[in-house]
Structure 1
């Protein structure tokens, strides 16, 4: 077990998410940066479905109430155990009573704490993921909370096979395919989407990222009945400013989707700080463009 001494801005448990409930309006949820979540679990030898703690911009402090193997991946927080710096992206042993503290990372938003066995909070609808939009799942971690450690072990701890593409660059390029309503936008708007350098606004979280730039114009004013959304969907509200939907996106939306970001590219956007330059690129040859 661990005891939360300080939770920082936001700390939630995340696993693979609750697939199979979309027809009832329940989104998948899961980690904002799945690659870093998976890496943290591999480092401690966890099964793929084990829950980690996802931390927004550091600030988490926990006490280990039992000996444990842990690892931290994602945004490179400075990790200390009892005040002594420990390795990032590596397996670390903590004795019972040891205190782990995570500083604010120099870049990136989301870090992942894994312990061998996974965090054994009560699942809801088959998942330990916290959905910050609907409130489904265990509540975010709070000061004084005791979190059990489970037994979801798959094998021996592994060495890092690479620290997933995070850097202090302030620009990202995301691959896109046409969305189900791309014909609702003018040809100029469709070109602007992939030729503009968009700016990531401060209005970004686990749900979506809002971009600022030129207005994407519609062919004509139309109303769209609410319809399903895929993760990575780029919706355009009447303001003409695109919104990219992320891990906690709503299951439905009332704005047309001009394009969809390739899911493997979404962690780059999820980890980007406000002010980052965002470019969209049409998909590789052989895909629709």
Structure 2
């Protein structure tokens, strides 16, 4: 019998993600992929998978699923909350062996926003353009998970489960998050005061935050250049400023082009922290 993970309760949003589908921007397709790439890679390593194996990205928690077809190793990283197997708490950031029929539950996240659930062998959904990632903007890749969804688990990987049974676990911060910024392609479109405000003011993540982008709450950033901007390419972490002066950090499922000026770009090393920041949480920017 083929091993599988049968979703009983998906929570608010559960998606299949891997490290994305780069190289298709010329077709209007963004890279997508796991928002917290470090968590996805670590979960895979804990169970002996290649870094790019597909995982389940669970927003906030409330996820419940049953293993069928045989025992299976799994690991949960990323957001911090209660993880239970057959009603008993198990440690996060740890390789755990679930029996055939075992029930996994992820409780509400108390820190961070997104769990990464890896199963040994990876989630074996059909790839689209070389990736098993769900792109929520373009509608590419596996559909969001719903009750009764059966996720096939891939063949045993060549590597064994690492001898170390637990990685050092650092819960995402519940206070201010420091984010490194690099200059954007249109920094000079903004006043000196606006450029200084970006780094000096406290910002908060608004409720308008998803895999496409995270809108920020804070002072308006004034422009010195009032003209219209032709659409130009975006990259993950682009800090795009709308006409009202409010910035939005574009994330993995962003459009490949945008028409608002980009004042700065989140350094690659800080993108995972943005992915785990919760609505209302404070962000502080520093120069990369």
Tell me if both proteins adopt one fold, taking TM over 0.5 as the criterion: yes
Cα deviations by residue, 1:30-88 (Å, 9 ceiling, x for unpaired) = 11100011110000000122100000011111111121011111102311111111121
Structure-to-structure mapping, 1:99-248, within 5 angstroms: 99-151=103-155, 153-158=157-162, 159=164, 160-163=166-169, 165-248=170-253
Residue 3 of structure 1 aligns with which residue? 6
1:46 is matched with 49
What's the counterpart of residue 65 of structure 2?
62
Instruction: Quote the offset at 1:153 in angstroms.
Output: 1.7
Q: 2:93 touches 2:167 (CA, 8 Å); kept in 1?
A: no
Aligned counterparts of 2:82 and 2:278: Cα–Cα separation in 1? 18
Aligned: 1:78 with 2:118: no
**Structure 1 residue 114: Cα displacement:** 0.6
In 2: Cα distance, 1:280 partner to 1:238 partner: 21
Q: TM-score, normalised by structure 1?
A: 0.95
Secondary structure of 1:3's aligned partner: strand
Assess if the C-alpha contact under 8 Å between 1:47 and 1:152 holds in 2: no
Deviation at 1:154, TM superposition (A): 4.4
What is the CA-CA distance between 1:235 and the residue it aligns to?
Answer: 0.3
The verdict on how the C-alpha distance between 1:25 and 1:50 changes in structure 2, with shifts beyond 3 A counting, is same
Inter-CA distance 73–154: structure 2 relative to 1 (3 Å threshold): farther
Work out whether residues 172 and 276 of structure 2, in 8 Å CA contact, stay in contact via their aligned partners in 1: no
CA distance in 2 between counterparts of 1:162 and 1:152 reads 25
CA distance in 2, matches of 1:174, 1:87: 28
Quote how far apart the aligned CAs of 1:173 are: 1.2
The 1:224–1:29 alpha-carbon spacing in structure 2 relative to 1, beyond 3 Å, is same
Q: Which runs of 4+ in 1 moved over 6 A?
A: none
The normalised TM-score by structure 2 is 0.95
| SS in structure 2 of the partner of residue 157 of structure 1 | coil
Q: CA RMSD in A?
A: 1.2
More strand per residue: 2
- Please give the alpha-carbon distance, in whole angstroms, between the structure 2 residues aligned to 1:176 and 1:51: 29
Q: 1:131, CA displacement in angstroms?
A: 0.6
Q: Which moved more, 1:79-88 or 1:141-150?
A: 79-88
Residues 94-122 of structure 1, C-alpha deviation per residue, up to 9 Å, x if partnerless? Answer: 11111111110111100011111000011
| Unmatched runs of 5 consecutive residues or more in structure 2 | none
Q: Equivalent residue of 1:266, what SS?
A: helix
